[in-house]
Amino acid sequence: MMILFAKGFALGLAIAAPVGPIGLLCIRRTLVDGPALGFATGIGAATADAAYGAVAGFGLAVVADAMTAAQGWMAALGGLFLLWLGWKTAMATPAPRPAGEGAARPAGLVLAWATTFLLTVTNPATILSFAAAFAGLGLAEWAGDGVAAMVLVLGVFLGSAAWWLGLSLMVGRLRDRVTPAGLAWINRIGGGMLVAFGLAALYAAV
């Protein structure tokens, strides 16, 4: 089981590591609002990764097929959400001080978690990535085994969470060096990149 957990941990780490809209959000929120909000952002993605890992690990072929069949409208929904989030980010006015006291409030943390969970779970390509990784790592034989699937899903979640924790802590070290003017540019550039990701998702959907 330890080997299975290690494979799940490595899989979660590998799925989380590539830079994309979630990584961009984590970096931007860490710089503007602090490491706690940045980490909550990453945990939303880790939760979605664990959910997709559960679909693959428990052998839920019906769910996987339904997600694949609905990938067009799910990708479009994710693209529209990215457009809205990008516009909101670009228009946001940063606080004049580096740390906002309300950034780590429970409501803010839950919202940060929810937005990235929705963005990740509306990307059907993730389930295909898990299916390919399961085959490559020799994990397909464990599909349907309840205990093995739980160990695997835990490994995926902790591997993904470890990446987001490391990223938010590393970026958080640079936070005090960023001026309010720099934060404004981070919002504009980050928002523009999120809009670009959203347009790309909409293009792929159609």
| pLDDT tens-digit readout, 168-182 | 999 988 887 877 777
Print the domain residue range for 103: 2-205
* Cβ atoms within 10 Å of 106's Cβ, excluding its own: 8
- Calculate mean pLDDT across residues 84-112: 70
* Mean pLDDT, residues 25-46 taken together: 90
- Dihedral, CA of residue 93, residue 203, residue 167 and residue 177, to nearest 10: -30
Determine what percent of the chain is predicted with pLDDT higher than 70: 71
Mean pLDDT of 44-70: 70
Structural domain count of the chain: 1
Determine contact, residues 129/55, Cβ cutoff 8 Å. Answer: no
- Predicted TM-score (pTM) of the model is 0.75
Alpha-carbon gap, residue 146 to 137, rounded angstroms: 18
